[in-house]
Structure 1
Amino acid sequence: MTIPLSLTINGTRREIALDDPRVTLLDLLRERLHLTGSKKGCDRGQCGACTVLVDGRRINACLQLAASLDGAEVLTIEGLAEGDALHPVQAAFVEHDGFQCGFCTPGQIMSAVGLIREAQAGDDPERIREAMSGNLCRCGAYLGITEAVRDAQSRMNQGNAA
């Protein structure tokens, strides 16, 4: 028995036939759709390496069953930039050295994008650190990550004011 699933992934409508109702969104993205930016870190929702946006909200893709998302809109790191133009959060991560080994970076960036969209970031570094606490960085690039989020939010707010 297959389960029909319709998702909009990075702006493209996808019709998918799931052969197993236990497939997580992370496994669907990585193994079936070859969108490998979201990482399988802990596979328990504790590290944030698999963070994507579903209907504009941050989720851990490793905890979400794909079958439960019929009709949803999914944004992954692969869909964030527009052509060669980096998203403001991606650009800020580069400028502020918000990564070292890079393993957690896609999840960190997607979480930051969601945080800013949810208007939860504010300008307080402690508030940003708390709101990003579900995304772990084994290299300890937290200062750069926090500064990147602050900078990106400022740029995005200026862009909205214009």
Structure 2
Amino acid sequence: MHAFPLEKSAGGITENIQFKEKQFKEIVDLLVDDYHFVRIIAIRGVCHHLMETIECFAVIEVKTLLKTLADTLANDGSTYLVRLAVFEGFAEMVKKKESAQLLESILPQMKLHIHDENEKVRCAFVKILQNVKDHPDTMSIKYWDIVPIDHLAARLEVNPIIF
């Protein structure tokens, strides 16, 4: 993942475009691999690339990756570790303006993850909210736009340790 996108030095433009498309397909395949450790490593790599080298991806590729992360992997029921990796990645992404802006419309749709069954996942989700609060210049939304205050209060009442 750290070398994405690879290019063939002897290849022409068309060949390199096809080669990049093949690499992208492999990345998506890794994100939905049957083995959860593969998914976790892929999530970390994708979040890193979306934060550091987003220009390597076409707009449609970014949308595909974010949809897979937010709709599929953030709701992975096989193990909490996959959900944890998604929210840890998002917590880092909100620190940087370019990647934070990608998450502005996604995070409010994920508000119920504050009530995840796993405490580590809930803590990672709270870390996203803390990073949004601590980096106000990266996003135009506030943490209470992501999770309404009544949900935060309900979670605080049940589990005050994570705050």
The structure in which a higher percent of residues are strand is 1
The structure in which a higher percent of residues are helix is 2
TM-score range, shorter chain: 0.3 to 0.5
TM-score by length of 2: 0.33
Q: Rg bigger for which structure?
A: 2
**Structure with the larger RCO, 1 or 2 (CA within 8 Å, 6+ apart):** 1
TM-score by length of 1: 0.33
